[in-house]
Amino acid sequence: MSRVVVFNEFGGPEVLQIVEEPVAVPAAGELRIKIEAIGINRLDQMMRSGSYPGPVHLPRSRLGCEGTGLVDAVGSAVEGFSVGDAVIVTAVPDMDVNGTYAEYVLMPANAVIARPEGLDATSAAALWVAYSTAYGALVEKAKMQPGDHVVITAASSAVGLAAIQIANLIGAIPIAITRHAAKKDILLAAGAAVAVATDRDDVVDVVREYTHGAGADIILDSVMGPGLVDLAKVAKFGGTLVAVGWLDPRPAEFPMNWPLTIFGYMSFEHVLDSEVVHRIATFLSAGIRTGALKPTVDKVFRLDDIVDAHHYLDQGQQVGKIVVTL
Ligand SMILES: NC(=O)c1ccc[n+]([C@@H]2O[C@H](COP(=O)([O-])OP(=O)(O)OC[C@H]3O[C@@H](n4cnc5c(N)ncnc54)[C@H](OP(=O)(O)O)[C@@H]3O)[C@@H](O)[C@H]2O)c1
């Protein structure tokens, strides 16, 4: 049997419960993976609470778009994987049906990559969603170049910290934004060239001064809300804003500061494309190998404590990824 997290109604963390289901046999083209560790994402909270804009099928909805483990069984017509291989799941578009919060999952083999050498299961669970989102938004979408000034909001999030590391690896200059002055030193230690705390600093003044009046080439925004006003003001003439999240759901004005290219980015745009997945996986493996990329794990919970893990997620104070191990 496989222990699986499900929920029958939308609500707080308490709606999550663990049930037992039979372990399924992989169909042609599928792998069965024994999950070792799960990455917890903001998307999980949105689905659980009912704020996710896409369909979520109740009752017995599952959860989880990120996980790593060992191949446990190989379906027919699968090449390149064997039982015992350490792997990472790259895409779960139907997570309410096939989410990774489970002991065993079935995945199409083309939605799985090899776990980079030297990465333990806990760190591997913190890798794919954060780094593929930051890479896709900054490199594939915004065409980040060495020397670019890159403003990163919610910089202490897993996506934000991944963006700092990827910007540094490429030779761009990460400018990290947090709401709390207490987190500035953490962000500087994580590689930010400069850290801005919205509870103390004026974002526009700091970024303008740091870029000698030019403004930021790229803005990676996970927050939106009223903070967009300042972000529009710090964008360089001809710059790019990539919005990847909306942590602050309040309505916002967006002052005219054109020309400015604006993208709304969903990583599913790339993680379902095997060519891009190959590019991202190769980039990440090289970064892990050299030590330039190092996933930041904030706190680790056990699957039995999934309700506590979601309470912690709801608080939104973490630095890096919350991981659940089995
Ligand atoms: N587009 C995609 O494909 C994609 C994929 C993955 C994630 N995302 C998005 O990326 C963002 C980060 O996700 P994550 O899972 O790495 O981390 P997360 O748990 O969503 O972010 C945690 C951090 O966000 C900041 N934060 C929380 N609430 C905020 C608010 N109301 N206003 C401003 N900042 C707030 C906090 O940093 P401070 O306390 O330092 O301010 C907190 O430490 C989310 O918006 C998520 O939806 C998008």
- Give 199-213 pLDDT, tens digit per residue: 999 999 999 999 999
CA–centroid distance, 259 to ligand 1, in Å, is 27
pLDDT, tens digit (0-9, with 9 covering 90-100), for 54-97: 889 999 999 999 999 999 999 999 999 999 999 999 989 899 99
Q: How confident is the model at residue 256 (pLDDT cuts 50, 70, 90)?
A: confident
| pLDDT of amino acid 257 | 76
CA–centroid distance, 153 to ligand 1, in Å, is 8
| pLDDT of amino acid 153 | 98
Average pLDDT over the chain, rounded to whole? 96
- CB of 154 within 6 A of ligand 1: the answer is yes
pTM over 0.85: yes
Q: For residues 27 and 44, give the distance between their C-alpha atoms in angstroms, rounded to a whole number.
A: 27
- CB of 159 within 6 A of ligand 1: the answer is yes
If you average pLDDT over residues 276-299, what whole number do you get?
96
Lowest mean pLDDT among 6-10, 125-129, 191-195, 275-279: 275-279
| pLDDT of amino acid 306 | 98
Domains of the chain: 2-127+296-325 (3.90.180.10), 129-268 (3.40.50.720)
CA–centroid distance, 228 to ligand 1, in Å, is 15
The residue whose CB lies within 8 Å of the most ligand 1 atoms, and thus the one to mutate among 44, 159, 161, 198, is 159
pLDDT, tens digit (0-9, with 9 covering 90-100), for 31-53: 999 999 999 999 999 999 999 88
Phi–psi pair at 21, nearest 5 degrees: -130, 155
